[in-house]
A = this chain, B = another copy of it.
């Protein structure tokens, strides 16, 4: 029961990720716009916080932030509470770039998403909310 659901979740989530990543292929690598999206949505936040919430390792998050910074899409500021930490936030350029990318992703997936019935749409959105919650409250990957 749960074993089958667990396996299916892994298989289908990975499959969707591969498919959608290719379908949405724009000028911006997936990992990069994903990180930008999360910073925009939840920032300003620390590198380690980004890593934790996105379920990647800290050095991965560091590298992504550095790439984003290099493009001028995010900026760093000192965290007043801790001299070791910095806060990452999107710049206006970053927000513009993100909007473009979101539009591109939306367009790429529109044919398939648009083909869903209202009920399917709702099922998908509700399932997604559960999945988001499931990961959010999980221990960090065992």
Binary B-proximity of A8-28 (CB < 8 A = 1, otherwise 0): 111111111111111111000
Report the separation of the CA atoms of residues A21 and B5 in the bound assembly, to the nearest whole angstrom.
14
Total interface residues in chain A, CB < 8 Å: 65
Q: Which of A113-142 contact B (CB under 8 A)?
A: 113-116, 120-121, 123-135, 137-142
Q: A24-B10, A37-B7 given as contacts; is B128 within 8 A of A15 (CB)?
A: no
Closest beta carbon of chain B to A91's beta carbon, Å: 19
Contact across chains for A116 and B128 when beta carbons are under 8 A apart: no
Interchain CB contact (< 8 A) of A128 among B9, B30, B105, B121: B9
Contact of A17 among B6, B13, B116, B126 (CB under 8 A): B13
